[in-house]
Amino acid sequence: MRFWGVRGSIACPGEKTVRYGGNTSCVEIRCGDRLLIFDAGTGAKPFGKELAAAGVVDADYFFSHTHFDHIVGIPFFLPAYIPKNRLEMWAGHLKPDHTMEQILRLAMTDPLFPVPLDVLQAQITFHDFEAGETLDPRPGIRVRTAPLNHPNGATGYRVEYDGKAVCYVTDTEHTIGTLDANILGLIEGADVMIYDSTYTDEEFDTYVGWGHSTWQEGVRLCQEAGVGTLAIFHHDPDHDDAAMDKIAKAARAAFPGAVVAKEGLTLKP
């Protein structure tokens, strides 16, 4: 797995975020020769450029949800413009009122965007499911899902392949003192969990109701569910490199399997 964008809410390029990166959520997961992508934040722009240069793209694209910071990269994702490419797009938070195609169409509407969704010439298939369903996108790859606690809904994912399990759990808010049963069920015994760690426990009081969690809650979930590695993710754009270094040090002391996700980081479970 490789991180292309690790920020929450809004991209934050600049000299104070250059080491951890300023792009919003985008994660590449490879299962053998299969490509799975999670979210299309601004990190999807550089990722798409590299993918398009490498050849034909045939990928499954999973969305945690459709807030701007997770879809803004789609109109700039180069493989979506190339006719021979194939993209299966999955979303679990929109039924029954909306569909993924409808929301992307809406985002690429005059006067919000200069060209409509139809300019994307790849073969795109939309799959709207209900968070909690188990998906079998390709032979040998099982994707389990669970609903998360986030305004307008969001979906957590667990990818199982070749005896390994990797979880992608963002955006979600916890309740102080109660571990989220949906998340515990999803991440049980997983090798890696990527987790919404927008805030610290010390900051959290100010942000109750904003739909995000803390790295300390990620540690508690991993400890309870026996997860090996916690990837601290969806960083607050106001947390500069110095703040992230402090979080990395404190997190490692609290849980030896904790790593702070940064652009370019690769993990192999």
Q: Give me the least distance between CB of 63 and Zn ion, in Å please.
A: 11
Shortest Å, Cβ 42 to Zn ion: 12
Burial of 70 (0-12, 13-18, 19+ CB in 10 A): buried
CB 171 within 8 A of CB 234: yes
Q: Toward Zn ion, which CB reaches closer, 62 or 161? A: 62
Please, what is the minimum distance in Å from the beta carbon of residue 98 to Zn ion? 15
Residue nearest to Zn ion (CB): 67
> Cα(195)–Cα(21) distance, rounded to whole angstroms?
17
Q: Least distance (Å) from Zn ion to the CB of residue 39?
A: 8
Residue 174 has what DSSP assignment? P
Nearer to Zn ion, 42 or 85 (CB): 42
Query: 243 CB contacts (<8 Å, ≥6 apart)?
Result: none
The residue (of 6 and 59) whose beta carbon lies closer to Zn ion is 6
Quick one: 85 or 153, whose CB is closer to Zn ion?
153
- For β-strands 154-161 and 141-148, DSSP reports them as antiparallel
For Zn ion, the closer of residues 119 and 208 by Cβ is 208
CA distance 26 to 34: 17
- Give helix 241-254 / helix 215-225 axis angle, nearest 10°: 30
Judged by beta carbon, residue 8 or residue 79, the one nearer Zn ion is 8
Q: How far is the CB of 150 from Zn ion (least distance, A)?
A: 6
Instruction: Report the relative pairing of strands 123-128 and 134-138 from DSSP bridges.
Output: unpaired
For the record, the structure tokens of 172 come out as 């979600």
Query: Which of these, 226, 235, 212, 213, lies nearest to 255 by C-alpha position?
Result: 226
Q: In terms of Cα–Cα distance, which of 86, 99, 39 is closest to 67?
A: 39
The CB-of-249 to Zn ion minimum distance in angstroms stands at 25
In the complex with Zn ion, the residue whose CB is nearer, 8 or 147, is 8
Shortest Å, Cβ 64 to Zn ion: 7
What residue ranges bind Zn ion (CB under 5 A)?
8, 67, 69, 171
